[in-house]
Each structure stands twice: as C-alpha cells, then as structure tokens.
Amino acid sequence: MTVLVCSDLDRTLIYSAAAFALDGPDETMPRLLCVEFYRGAPLSYLTETAARTLEALSAAAVFVPATTRTPEQYRRVRLLEKPPAYAITANGGHLLVDGADDPEWAASVRERVAGRSAPLAEIEERLARDGGDFVLKRRSASGLFAYTVVDRAALPPAWVEDLAGWCAERGWRTSLQGRKVYCLPDGLTKAAAAAEVARRTGATTTLAAGDSLLDAELLRAADRSIRPAHGELHDARWSAPGTAVTAASGIAAGQEIAEWLLERATAP
C-alpha cells in the first residue's frame, strides 16, 4: 500500500521568526533548524525534531511539498537530505519531478485556467488601481496568479472582502496569508496536482496538511488531513470531516503536524 502525503510549507511545516509563537524560558525552547536562506540571511525554520520526523516520513511514504511558492522560491528550501521526487508549486500550476518542471502538466493547467477565469492582466489592472499606502509590493507568479504584500496594520477592514467579491465574479478567489493577499484563478488547485501524483505513484491513501483557504480543497480531498491552530483556516473556524486540528500553534504546530502525518502514514 502506497501512502501519499501532501503538505503545505509556510506556516504549516516551516516558519519565519515572526511566526514562531514561542513563549517560555530559554531552556525550554526547542532546537531549531534553518531550512531556507534568502539573500544570504536565514528565513525559514522548523524544529530539529520535526526535521527528523520528516526524514522518517519521506522514507515511509511519498512525501510531496505542496506550496503556493513559485518553483524558484520553492528551490530555496532544503527540507530533506534528499529532495522529494515530487513537489507541487505555484498552487498546482507546476509539478516538479526530480526537481524539473513537467511541461505537459504546466500546459494542461494553463489550458484549464483559461477556460474558467478572467485573464491575469485584468486582475493585475485592478490591483494596480485599487490600493493605497498599505500596499507595499505587487507581484505576479509564474504568469498564473497575482499577489500583493500589504501592511496589515494599515489594511482597510473591507479591502480584502471587496476584492474577494470582485474576483469571485471573474472566476478568481483570494487568500490573506500573513502580509500577502493572493488572487488565484479557480482552476489552479493543489488538489488537482495531488490527484495527478497519486495516479502516477499508485497511492491508495492520501494524507494532507495546510493552513490557508487555498489548502481547503486539498484537505477535503485527502482521506485524512490536519491543519494548525493558527492561520487563515483557523481564523475562519474552518473544519471538514476527517480533518484534525493541532493542539499547538506556531512552529510547535509544525512539529505536531509532522508527527501526526508520520503516525498515520505508518499505521497498519
């Protein structure tokens, strides 16, 4: 029996210093491992226990990182000693096989998106004209979706809600994750890419983990899933049959998720 494990990365398995949520005396703090550097500076971490657990998980199951990061952003992360054979990036827009992009999958995703949603240029135009000082950066990713980096403290209360309504009318959805507001076409999903990996590997059981609304479809599609007690799904009080919630939050939740996935991937 082959078990497929698909997990989001940021604020699910790996964490920036701002998301640690660690509290207590120094002697009780877990030992941390940096798994990503950006421009020469450390950026993302997990606990050393979580790192060991993920190594065991990758040996016991088909472990697939499933992230909204672009392929280039994903390649900065060194999560395992041996990189996973498969990785889902750009929220399902790219499927990496042994580190290389699968061009047929990428082409099929673009064809599917084009038939469902308004063009990316229309979304970018809206983001360019509808902002303010709270918008720090605007970016597009892989020619598939757009996102803005915002100052959360200065973000107008209704801005994301208004944007979400406008996007929904055009076949797009939005997600607020930390300081980033994502706009993605409806046909761009991690769940579809996970189903493709399951088909290729012959997986009979799928486990999943994630923290944002962009992970909801993946969590629902899995046989069992887990989300942390923080993040967009937690704030929305999102739940689904077969989806567990961690007791911990912050980087400790990442360790709990890794242990939960390993326990179920190796269960008789």
Q: Which domains does the chain have, with CATH numbers?
A: 3-111+188-266 (3.40.50.1000), 117-185 (3.90.1070)
Per-residue pLDDT of the chain (268 residues; tens, 9 = 90+): 899 999 999 999 999 999 999 987 776 789 999 999 999 999 999 999 999 999 999 999 999 999 999 999 999 999 999 999 999 999 999 999 999 999 999 999 999 999 889 999 999 999 999 888 999 999 999 999 999 999 999 999 899 999 999 999 999 999 999 899 999 999 999 999 999 999 999 999 999 999 999 999 999 999 999 999 999 999 999 999 999 999 999 999 999 999 999 999 999 8
End-to-end CA distance of the chain: 10
DSSP reduced 3-state for 62: strand
- DSSP structure string for 40-108: TEEEEEEEHHHHHHHHHHHHHSEEEEB-SS-HHHHTTB--SSS--SEEEEGGGTEEEETTEE-HHHHHH
pTM: 0.94
